[in-house]
Structure 1
Amino acid sequence: MSDWMVTHGPSAGRRPRALSPLREHLRDTFWFAPAAAMLCVVLVWAVAAEIDTRIVETLQDEGEYDTLEELLKFAGDAKIVVTTVSSAMMTFIGVVFSISLVAVQMASGQFSPRVVRIFVRSRITKATFAVFLSTFLLTLLVLTSYESEPDPRLVSSVPVVQSLLTIAMVGLSLLLFVMYVNTTLRLMRIGQVIDRIVGESFRVVALMPVEASAHQGALGSETARIAHEGRAGVLRDVNIARLVRVARQHDVVLRLIPRTGDFVVPGTPVLAVHGGKAPPRRALRYAVSVGVERTFHQDLGFGMRQLSDIALRALSPAVNDPTTAVQALDRIVQFLAALARRPLDASLHRDRRGAVRLVQPVPGWTDLVDLGFTEIRGCAVGTPQVTRRLLAGLDDLALLVSEERRAPLLRHRALLVQAVERGVPEGADRAFALQPDRQGIG
């Protein structure tokens, strides 16, 4: 797990939540949900065992031995079920684990290695594993509560509530298994994977402050720079709440130098200080998160990177699936259209009084357009379905954006036309490939 030193990017007028960085990092792990569920089930079992003990003591005090005999018979029958569930649950877990591995391998090979994290972050997958393991652990705990003493006057506990709890957990496991299989089959379809990527990307956009970025001169003169300490890796995110608080306490403005997703090495500057002395190192501890791979958290371009990777994999000679490339292009155009009139280049984070305290760089409009179209355009020549959809997307975006944002769109359109004219020898084929079509080829 990466060094966690981070937070969530706040939306306009919304203060970042202190627990959001920890929550985001735990979502990228697979161990936390099962571990927490098993801890909870131990506590629930302890409560259920205490209730069973109290029930037996009450019935013995009141002389209700006939009722106790009935409970002993029920517990004996339930023990058969509990024993069967205990022996079968690990096999069930193995089946679920095998399905997950097959889905992950297929997604990594056919779509992109970057989409594996979708399966890791899947709530239904984590819930299924957590409930299955918890059910198995619960059956072991319940089996320890059974006594061999048949005399109701001498028995100290009859696991009735525990047995009912186990049966309830079995029912929940079966329900989750059906939901898990359904969700996994959906995630094995490229349309669902692309939809998940776009959904995550829009959540990043929703949490970005909506205001024009300040000119660097308005921040005051740069007075110091703070170098990165720790291991090298990809900048996953920064703890916005901590950095804003530290900047307010020292009456300075902090400016993040690398963008989220950049690879940073020890000794390179990560923060610039404007308007005062640099805060002490201990105040900035756990403010920067570095990991082995990019995440969606605060990374505006990561979704576009994944969509572009999927399209490139689909256009490779080994796959040769232009329809999938068109599906990715549909969502690239959708994402760029949503950002067409939004301020980019930097996110400004303010303190409670409205003063800018942290400037966080984000990809600009030209960067996002290049990320979405450059590599796909280079591989699309000779595939008219993709060139037609690409031209239609560029034309649609050119109608949505302001005049100053049209230049990169027109540049990509001109380069695509030139590439098709050079690469397609037949005039009729060139004319067909250069006709804009939102479906590619119908």
Structure 2
Amino acid sequence: MSRLRFQRFIRSSLWLLPVLCLAAGVLLVVATLAVDRATGYRLVPQSLTGTPSDAQTILSSFATAMVSLTSLVLTVTLVAVQLAMGQFSPRIVTALLDDRFNQLAIGLFGATFLVAVLTLREIRGSDTGTVPGLSMLLSYVLMFASLVVLVLFVHHAGQGLRVAGLIDLVGDRSREFIVREHGELPVVTGGPDEVVAAEPGNVVRVDRPALVTAARLADCVLELVPVVGDFVVGGAPLFRVHPGARAAVAADGGPAHRLRIADVARHVLLGPERVHTEDLAYGFRKLVDIAVRSIAQPFNDPTTTVQALHRLHDLLRQMATRPLPPGEHRDEDGVVRLLERTVSWDGYVRLAFDEIRLAGASEPQVTRKMCAALADLRSVAPPDRQEPLDRQLRLLHAAVRRAHEDEEDVVAALTPDTEGIGSGADVTVAPPPRVVPAPH
């Protein structure tokens, strides 16, 4: 039990790693100063370290910079903790404070400060004095390492402030516990004709030409199970290998023409978060999130929702007459080798309007903009793409009638207006027609 308590103290201690870094810095500088004294401060020539005046100026700058960098790291860490507590969960604080990278950055900056100060004390004279050359080189190395860690820390902090970063922080640590306690083998749910994902993550990129080539060499058809952007859990099916490929699937070894699971899986890139590279639906999702959040309490900002609807309207208008990506990919002989599910026109329309319609049915500014957008899309969409738009208009009318009791309010809320309330036919005045006199 004492050993377990000690292990828990080591893992949960916030100051242990920084203190160890400080102690290591002191030991290093004491050792280098001892070597410098033993060699009469002639081990490293002053052509590398500069004169005593130069060394004093450089070390003073190092010490000042380290104090600022340490303050920056502590400030950013506290800001991250406050944001995470207020926006996500107070229980995320421990995971953030236990972040070893933040502790390492604080410890490195503190150790560099101590090395610079202790080396500064050893400099004698001005232009003709002595400089502890080895200790100066140690200061240079630690300062360079501090600059590198600073850049990495900024990147690390930016990633950690994202909601996906915080979720991954807790998820990865919990997953590490499962692996540590129960082994490294994932829970495989796939069958003999399925290729499973070794690690969890979102599908961010698919190398379709490479997959078509691999399937052609193995004389099989690959079916991508998740849609691009989907989250795949570790051990879940990534591909299905269709009939005729059972004998071609091999986890290891085999002739060159046989399909290797590892070769197929590496052509699908899994990431911690969705990206826009091949995932158009993710752009829609971001805009919808902004729109829905803007009309939720306590924000109540329908104007921002209308701005998001402007861009959703524009995106759907660009897609209305264009063919959507096919779900079949053929080889050079015209044989289908790769199958994947893609988002349909109906899917994009629902993604753009369903949640906003449900959240904003009581906001006339939102419903008027939606009516204008849907009317415009109906004017350009081909006949086979009209039904999803008609469905949205029908559901919007029903939702507005449930939200408003007065018929005049219902009529006003369903009047098309591209700016919500601002350019509709009921709030603008048309200029009188200009009469051009006939020539004599």
TM range (shorter): 0.5 to 0.7
Q: What are the equivalent positions in structure 2 for 1:264-275 lying under 5 Å apart?
A: 269-274=237-242
Kindly indicate whether the alpha-carbon contact (under 8 Å) linking 1:294 and 1:302 is maintained by their aligned counterparts in 2: no
Write the mapping of 1:185-334 to structure 2, written as runs, cut at 5 A.
225-226=193-194, 228=196, 235-237=202-204, 239-240=206-207, 243-262=211-230, 269-274=237-242, 276-278=244-246, 279-282=249-252, 283-285=260-262, 287=265, 295-296=274-275, 298-334=278-314
Give the Cα–Cα distance (whole angstroms) in 1 for the partners of residues 272 and 387 of structure 2.
32
Match of 1:94 among 74, 78, 101: 74
> Which AA in structure 1 matches 2:321?
R
- 1:381 deviation in Å? 2.1
1:292-329 Cα offsets, whole Å, 9 max, x none, are 97512544323323332333333334433222322222
Equivalence for 2:349: 369
State the match for 2:427 in structure 1. none
- Cα deviations across residues 165-209 of structure 1 (Å, max 9, x unaligned)? 969x98xx89x99xxxxx99xx99xxxxxxxxxxxxxxxxxxxxx
Structure-1 separation of matches of 2:335 and 2:120: 65
Q: Distance in 2 between matches of 1:330 and 1:161?
A: 58
Residues 385/134 of structure 1: CA separation in 2 closer, same or farther (3 Å cut):
farther
Number of the residue aligned with 2:122: 148
1:426 aligns to 2:406 (yes or no): yes
Aligned residues of 1:261 and 1:299 also touching (Cα < 8 A): yes
Pick the structure with greater CA Rg: 2
SS in 2 for 1:339: helix
Task: Report the Cα distance in structure 2 between the residues aligned to 1:368 and 1:269, rounded to whole angstroms.
Answer: 25
TM-superposed CA distance for 1:139, in Å, is 5.9
- Aligned partner of 2:179 in structure 1 is none
Q: Decide which moves more: 431-440 or 93-102.
A: 93-102
**Superposed counterparts of 1:344-363, under 5 Å:** 344=324, 346-347=326-327, 357-363=337-343
Per-residue deviation, 1:58: 12
Alpha-carbon distance in structure 2 between the residues aligned to 1:86 and 1:318: 42
| Deviation (angstroms), 1:403 | 2.1
Deviation at 1:386, TM superposition (A): 0.6
8 Å contact from structure 2 (residues 195, 240) kept in 1:
no
Which residue is 1:77 aligned to?
A: 57
RMSD value, Cα? 5.2
Amino acid across the alignment from 2:223: R
Percent of pairs with identical residues = 29
| CA spacing shift, 1:70–1:372, aligned 2, 3 Å | closer
Matched residues in 2 for 1:69 and 1:300: separation?
Answer: 56
Aligned to 1:27: none
The equivalent residue for 1:39 is: none
Q: Contact 1:243–1:287 at 8 Å: present in 2 too?
A: no
Contact 2:193–2:240 (8 Å) recurs in 1: yes
Cα offset for 1:250? 1.1
Q: How far, CA to CA, are the matches of 2:83 and 2:330 in structure 1? A: 43
Give, in angstroms, the shift of residue 363 of structure 1: 0.9
3-state DSSP of counterpart to 2:61: helix
Residues 97/267 of structure 1: CA separation in 2 closer, same or farther (3 Å cut): closer
1:343 aligns to what SS in structure 2? coil
> Structure 2 counterpart of 1:240, which letter?
D
- Please name the residue that 1:203 is paired with: none
Could you list the per-position Cα deviations for residues 213-243 of structure 1 after superposition, in whole angstroms to 9, with x for gaps in the alignment? xxxxxxxxxxx94163657x66534652653
- Pairing of 1:344-423 with structure 2 (within 5 A): 344=324, 346-347=326-327, 357-423=337-403
Q: Is the 8 A contact 1:142 1:163 kept in 2?
A: no
Q: Is the 8 A contact 1:71 1:160 kept in 2?
A: no
Alpha-carbon distance, 1:334 to partner: 2.6
**Rounded Cα–Cα distance in structure 1 between residues aligned with 2:51 and 2:226:** 67
- Quote the Cα distance in structure 1 between the aligned partners of 2:129 and 2:333: 70
Q: What is the rounded CA distance, in whole Å, between the counterparts of 1:416 and 1:423 in structure 2?
A: 11
Distance 1:351 1:147 in 2: 73
Q: Is 1:437 matched with 2:395?
A: no
Partner SS state of residue 239, structure 2: strand
Q: In 1, distance between residues paired with 2:349 and 2:337?
A: 29
Q: Aligned AA for 1:363? A: V
**Amino acid of the structure 2 residue aligned with 1:429:** D
DSSP-derived class of the 1:255 partner: strand
Kindly indicate whether the alpha-carbon contact (under 8 Å) linking 2:119 and 2:132 is maintained by their aligned counterparts in 1: no
Q: Is the 8 A contact 1:71 1:158 kept in 2?
A: no
1:309 and 1:363 mapped to 2: Cα distance?
A: 18
1:24-51 alpha-carbon deviations (Å, 9 max, x no partner): xxxxxxxxxxxxxxxxxxxxxxxxxxxx
Deviates more, 1:306-315 or 1:78-87: 306-315
8 Å contact from structure 1 (residues 259, 362) kept in 2 = yes
Amino acid paired to 2:122 = S
Give, in angstroms, the shift of residue 339 of structure 1. 2.5
CA distance in 2, matches of 1:98, 1:154: 39
Gap change, CA 1:133 and 1:243, over 3 Å in 2: farther
Return the alpha-carbon distance in structure 1 between the equivalents of residues 383 and 411 of structure 2. 28
CA contact 2:52–2:130 (8 Å) conserved in 1: no
Q: Are residues 136 and 58 of structure 1, via their aligned partners in 2, closer, same or farther at CA, if it must alter by over 3 Å?
A: closer
Cα deviations by residue, 1:63-120 (Å, 9 ceiling, x for unpaired): xx8x8996222102221221222233211222233445556677769xxxxxxxxxxx
Equivalent pairs, count: 326
Q: What letter corresponds to residue 251 of structure 1 in structure 2? A: D
Structure 1 Cα separation of the partners of residues 321 and 107 of structure 2: 48
Structure 2 segments unaligned to the other structure (5+ residues): 1-35, 90-102, 163-191, 253-259, 423-440
